[in-house]
Chain A
C-alpha cells in the first residue's frame, strides 16, 4: 500500500495498480483486465485506445466507479475505492466523476437546464443559489447560453454533447471520463467538442477519453494503448493537435449552407 502511494506523486488523481477483472458468462470466463497499472496526474488529458475486446470499456467502468476490480488497488484522489459498496460508489460518482457518453445519455423529457442539474439533485450540499450559479457556470463553459429550456430532441448532436459535458462539469469532479464522445458526431462537430475539452483541460480539468480514432486521440497529451486486457504501449504527444486550429482549416457547416 505505502509503496504504491509513494510511487505516485502528490498530484496524482488516478492510481491503479494490478487491477484485474473477470466476467463469467454462464460457464465461460472472460478475462477483461489482467493486471493493469495506470497513473493519471492532475490536469492531464489522456486518451485510451484499443480494439474492441481490449478491456477499455471495463477499465472505464472501473475508473468511473460503476464497477469494482476483482483484484488490485484503485486509488482515486488517494482514496481506495476498490472495495466500496453500491452506495459509497454512487457518492463517489456524484462528487468526483463526470461522465460523457457516445450516445449523450440525456433525459429526453427534461430540458437542458434540468439535465445539467441532475447530479446536483443527488448531492447533499448544493441547494438554492449555489445550485443556480453552478448550472450557469457549466452552461457558460460549453457556450450553450440561450438553449436552457430546450429539450434534447430540439438540440443538434453537438449541442446535446455539450449539455452532457455541462452535466459532467456541474459538480466540479476530479476527473471527466468521456467514452467515445465524438463517435456519433460529424468531424466538424467532433472538433468543436474536442475544442471544449481542450479549453477545459487548459483551465486545469483532468480528462480521460476512450476513443478508437487516432485523429481524436492526438488532441490529448498522452495515449495509452490497451490490448487483451493489458496496457502494451504508451505514447506521449509532445504537440497535441489544437482543435481550434483544425476548425479554422475546416469548412464550417454554416458556410456550406450559405455558399451552396
Chain B
C-alpha cells in the first residue's frame, strides 16, 4: 500500500451561520491513498460538512485542503477536475437521484466527464451489471425501494471512476441484505484501488473493516488511529458517545478471565473471535 497522502486538510474552519457556531472548528487530517477509513462521531460533529468541503461544494472560511499535495482551487475548471476524482455518495438517495430513469441517472456523471456516448454506454452497462442493478433497471426511480436507490446512487459515483469515494452513512435505513450488499460494494472499491472514507455510526463494522478510524468531535479530530487504538481508548469513546465494539469487549472480558490469551492481537470480527475461542486449550 502506498504511503502517498491523497487528501489533506489543514486547520479547516467552516460555519453555516456567519461564525455563530462552527461546524468545522480547526479540523486537520491526512488520508493516505488506498486506505479504508471510518469517520465516526456524533450527529453534527462535522462529518458531512467535511465531505462537502472535500468536493469543493463548500469552501472553508479558513484553512487549506490538498488533493495529492495540490491545494484546492475554486475556479470552475479546477473544481470540475477535483470532482471527477473525488466522488461522494449522499446519505439520502432522494437528494441525489434526479432522473426518473435508472439508466439515465447513472449516465449523467460520466457524460459530464466528457466521455463519448459509446464508451459511456459501455461503462454504464458495466456498472449496472457489477452492482446487480439489472433486475430493476427499467423501473422508474420513484418505484425503487430504499436499498435499490442506494445501489443506484453508488453506481452514479462508481461509473465516474473516482480516486477517492466518500460515503455518508451508507447503511442508514437499509435492511440487512442491502447493508451486506453495500459492504460488498465497498470492498470492491478497495480492491479497485479506490480510497474509501465512510461516515458511520456502526462501531462493529468500523472495527472490522477500517484500516484507520477518525473520531470527530465538534468540528475537530479527537483521535485518529488504528481501530484497535481508537476503540481501546475508553475516554475518547465516552466523549463521542460511542460504545466499544462487541467483539473487542468480549475478547477483553475473556482475556481478563484468563480464558483467552490477552497478549495476542484481538480478533476484529465474530468469526475471528470464534476461532480464537475454539483454538484455546480449554479446561
Partners in one complex: no
Q: Which residues of A contact B (CB under 8 A)?
A: none
